[in-house]
């Protein structure tokens, strides 16, 4: 560790880091120590092209760029004196020479670093009269992103991202000097699994995603921290919420999980929150053999009555369960306790597999498969085999991943069941065989924790409220347990209390609960994620 001084404040920093990296490591960059920058990004290589991050170092005659100057022991740095501020004004003036004056109609307005820095560090008035250069507008780079070349300041973040993160290298700088532009190589448009990240890291309004473009002004959005549930990586996200609606997912920085990236598929999964196929009411199979809408209380009564009748007649062995790897640890813990109180000994978790890569996308397409296994849920294929063999008369299913052909190849076997109770967020073919269906909340609508592939437990909180009556899986099970008369079950469900109980009763979660995981998550005891980056 080295000791340096920044604006009169001494701090210890790691040897071998640049000034910007050292400030970022300590969490003070643009959070107490303002060193504006465009081309530098914590997840990309150093470029040193924008020159905005110049600082004064005592003993060095010229100003130095903080992004590419290694720290040295005893270094004294000044970031706010007149010399530095004059240099920043000059850089900003050059960057704005050709930039169009269209902030009111630019979709980046409100979260644009050129807009912010021009206000904070720029000249109060322009001194140029020459016309700005005219370039391509609304230029289609591929299926997901549009480019406005006039707004580009050539920081080259997007170029480095495509080369260094997905490794596809579609973008580059073409031509030279004041004719330089960002473009894609002929026949190689921007089309990779992480393409929309270039819009996130673009510090101006040059790159925008087709999905979010002109949907809503960003100052109307509230950013709610959450976790992407598309696969078991558990990428950290900001949910952009307004008017009780999720408008977008943006990656939230967590260097231990996803750095600052998210895959395009995970980003677009926000649409599932308000999808038209959401289950919106409790359904009961009536006398005519069809599912009919019913009050939630009646659904609980019917489900409890059928389960009690079967257990009394044949014993708890005829009841099996399939958990969802999309549910929270708290939901799954409640499910485990419910099955224990019922006396059922056969249960599993349904996990669907899909494509994967070496970056973020994981094979298991659910956010909490590791948590479900840590809570004792085995392979759902064992339950499916019992169903096919006729050894099950009642089945309680969370979600609809059971229908995947790798788990239950013959869904018609569900027709043999006396009772099928479904807790799900979206409609599925399970309704063809279900006796009772309960709508439950999406991960964006409830609080709890999820455990990613590396055993890191991460917190989620509700960003929106469902526009219909829906409860978390744990709340439904608590009501069902109360209706069945289980000892100690009174129908109440406090997620914080359940989370603490989980951490005390389950050794795998010892000390890990909603109150301890923090914003970056906390590894389960003994998992590799405790030492560093989850991989």
Shared-domain flag, residues 248 and 349: no
Shared-domain flag, residues 369 and 493: yes
What does the pLDDT read at residue 393?
Answer: 96
DSSP SS3 for 82: helix
What does the pLDDT read at residue 473?
Answer: 98
Mean pLDDT of 251-277: 97
Q: What does pTM read for this prediction?
A: 0.93
Cα-based distances in Å from 460 to 335, 434, 517: 19, 30, 11
Shared-domain flag, residues 264 and 309: no
Shared-domain flag, residues 211 and 289: no
Q: Which of 320, 329, 365 is nearest to 448 (CA)?
A: 329
Shared-domain flag, residues 330 and 266: no
pLDDT (tens digit, 9 = 90+) per residue, 85-143? 999 999 999 999 999 988 999 999 999 999 999 999 988 888 888 888 899 999 999 99
Residue 381: pLDDT over 50:
yes
Q: 186 CB contacts (<8 Å, ≥6 apart)?
A: none
Question: What radius of gyration, in Å, describes the C-alpha atoms of the chain?
Answer: 27
Q: Which of 457, 530, 43, 18 is nearest to 252 (CA)?
A: 43
How many domains is the chain partitioned into structurally?
3
Provide the CATH number for the domain around residue 343. Answer: 3.40.50.740
Query: Is residue 87 domain-resident?
Result: yes
What does the pLDDT read at residue 530?
Answer: 42
Last residue of a domain, one of 272, 300, 322: 272
Shared-domain flag, residues 325 and 458: yes
Query: Is residue 243 domain-resident?
Result: yes
Task: Say which residue the tokens 């296994």 belong to.
Answer: 373
Cβ atoms 233, 194 nearer than 8 A: no
The rounded mean pLDDT for the chain is 95
Shared-domain flag, residues 289 and 419: yes
Q: Which of 70, 451, 42, 47 is nearest to 255 (CA)?
A: 42
Shared-domain flag, residues 424 and 496: yes
Mean pLDDT of 393-400: 97
Last residue of a domain, one of 73, 95, 117: 95
Task: Let me know if 277 is exposed, middle or buried by CB neighbors in 10 A (0-12, 13-18, 19+).
Answer: exposed
Tokens of 193: 């699994």
Shared-domain flag, residues 302 and 441: yes
Q: Which of 276, 331, 522, 300 is nearest to 443 (CA)?
A: 331
Shared-domain flag, residues 320 and 430: yes
Residue 220: pLDDT over 70:
yes
Shared-domain flag, residues 310 and 440: yes
Provide the CATH number for the domain around residue 8. Answer: 3.10.20.740
* Helix H or strand E segment including 314: helix 296-314
User: Residue-wise over 362-379: b if at least 16 C-beta within 10 A, else e?
Assistant: bebbbbbbbbbbbbbbee
Q: 8 CB contacts (<8 Å, ≥6 apart)?
A: none
DSSP string, 268-302: HGGGGTT-TTB--S-EEE-TTSSEEE--HHHHHHH
pLDDT (tens digit, 9 = 90+) per residue, 298-353? 999 999 999 999 999 999 999 999 999 999 999 999 999 999 999 998 999 999 99
Residue 292: pLDDT over 50:
yes
Shared-domain flag, residues 344 and 395: yes
Domain extent for 14: 2-95
């Amino acid at each position: 560790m080295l000791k340096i001084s920044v604006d009169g404040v001494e701090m210890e920093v790691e040897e071998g880091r640049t000034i910007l990296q050292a400030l970022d490591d300590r969490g003070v960059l643009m959070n107490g120590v303002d060193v504006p920058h465009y081309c530098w990004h914590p997840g990309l290589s150093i470029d040193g092209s924008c020159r905005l991050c110049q600082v004064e170092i005592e003993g060095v005659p010229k100003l130095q760029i903080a992004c590419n100057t290694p720290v040295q022991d005893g270094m004294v740095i000044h970031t706010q004196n007149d010399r530095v501020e004059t240099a920043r004004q000059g850089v900003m003036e050059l960057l704005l020479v050709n930039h169009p004056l269209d902030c009111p109609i630019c979709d980046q307005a409100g979260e644009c670093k050129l807009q912010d820095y021009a206000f904070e560090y720029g000249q109060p008035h322009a001194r140029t009269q020459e016309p700005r250069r005219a370039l391509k507008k609304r230029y289609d780079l591929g299926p997901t992103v549009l480019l406005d070349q006039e707004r580009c300041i050539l920081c080259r973040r997007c170029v480095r991202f495509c080369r260094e993160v997905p490794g596809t290298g579609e973008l580059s700088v073409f031509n030279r000097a004041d004719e330089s532009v960002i473009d894609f190589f002929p026949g190689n448009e921007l089309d990779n699994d992480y393409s929309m990240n270039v819009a996130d890291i673009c510090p101006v309004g040059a790159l925008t995603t087709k999905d979010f473009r002109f949907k809503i002004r960003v100052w109307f959005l509230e950013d709610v921290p959450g976790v992407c549930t598309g696969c078991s990586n558990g990428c950290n996200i900001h949910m952009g919420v307004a008017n009780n609606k999720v408008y977008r997912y943006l990656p939230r920085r967590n260097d231990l999980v996803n750095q600052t990236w998210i895959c395009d598929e995970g980003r677009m999964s926000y649409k599932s929150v308000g999808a038209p196929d959401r289950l919106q009411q409790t359904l009961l199979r009536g006398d005519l053999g069809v599912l009919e809408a019913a009050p939630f209380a009646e659904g609980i009564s019917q489900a409890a009555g059928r389960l009690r009748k079967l257990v009394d007649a044949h014993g708890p062995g005829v009841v099996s369960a399939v958990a969802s790897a999309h549910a929270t640890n708290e939901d799954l813990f409640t499910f485990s306790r419910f099955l224990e109180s019922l006396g059922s000994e056969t249960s599993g978790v349904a996990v669907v597999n899909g494509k994967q890569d070496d970056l973020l996308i994981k094979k298991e397409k659910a956010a909490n498969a590791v948590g479900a296994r840590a809570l004792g849920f085995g392979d759902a294929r064992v339950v499916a085999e019992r169903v096919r063999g006729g050894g099950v008369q009642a089945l309680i299913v969370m979600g609809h991943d059971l229908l995947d052909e790798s788990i239950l190849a013959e869904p018609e076997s569900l027709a043999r069941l006396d009772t099928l109770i479904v807790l799900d967020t979206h409609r599925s073919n399970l309704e063809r065989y279900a006796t009772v269906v309960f709508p439950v909340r999406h991960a964006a609508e409830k609080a709890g924790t999820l455990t990613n592939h590396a055993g890191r437990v991460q917190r989620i909180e509700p960003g929106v409220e469902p526009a219909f009556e829906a409860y978390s899986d744990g709340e439904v099970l608590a009501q069902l347990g109360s209706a069945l008369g289980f000892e100690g079950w009174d129908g109440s469900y406090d997620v914080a209390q359940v989370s603490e109980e989980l951490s005390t009763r389950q050794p795998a979660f010892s000390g890990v609960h909603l109150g301890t995981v923090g914003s970056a998550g906390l590894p389960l005891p003994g998992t590799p994620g405790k030492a560093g980056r989850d991989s």
